[in-house]
Amino acid sequence: MNRTLRLVLAAGICVVAVQLTGCAQMTMAPAKPTIENTVKLRGKELAPAAVGAFATDPSKPEIDKGHSIRGNGLGSPSNGSFAQYLGDTLKVELQSAGLYDPDAKTVISGTLTQSDVDASIGAGKASLAARIVVSRAGAVQFDREVSVSSAWDSPFVGVVAVPQAAGQYEGLYRKLAGKLFDDASFQKALAKDR
């Protein structure tokens, strides 16, 4: 068999393999803390906080239940809810920094307002936004929408592009938590001396 024929055959096998990997159902990894976010929370005079309810914007229920990435489903491990996954992400970040207390008077809650992932050939993009509310003994101390996004080179080959897009989207939850923790008003809302 000559070299050209072998290359054509190998290319054909690759095309078939890529097509066979389509239409899979993926679930994101359980929420996990990052060293970067733990560092952002430690070393500041912050009081422990509880994590309350996280829901989806009622006008956008479709953003909470799953995404399709080139025909492959992406779901949340938190009861199938992306809003709840955001709450779980904040909870594990607070736990990692020693700042989580389910009985604390300070409660962080939120509403998922945007959740998108697109793995188009050439240019992938994802975005995530949530309105975060911090209340202490029932009084609102912080109320702000926090948004993050990501863009990357998305390859033609689906077997590479799909997990890459899923990873980029999953990373936005930790990125949103980090942006929230950097917010001076959020830090003030969790300050010990309040």
Q: Which residues of 72-104 are buried (b: 16+ CB within 10 A; e: fewer)?
A: bebbbebeebbbbbbbbbbbbbbebbebbeeeb
Residue 18: pLDDT band by 50, 70, 90 thresholds? very low
Task: Determine what percent of the chain is predicted with pLDDT higher than 90.
Answer: 72
Within 8 A by CB and 6+ apart from 192, the residues are 45, 46, 47
The mean pLDDT value for 56-73 works out to: 90
Domains of the chain, by residue range, sit at: 25-189
Residue 22 has pLDDT above 90, yes or no: no
Which residues share a beta bridge with 153? none
pLDDT at 27 over 50: yes
Class of domain 25-189: alpha beta
pLDDT tens digits along 30-54: 999 999 999 999 988 999 999 999 9
Torsion of the alpha carbons at 171, 106, 131 and 54, rounded to the nearest 10:
70
Provide the whole-model pTM: 0.85
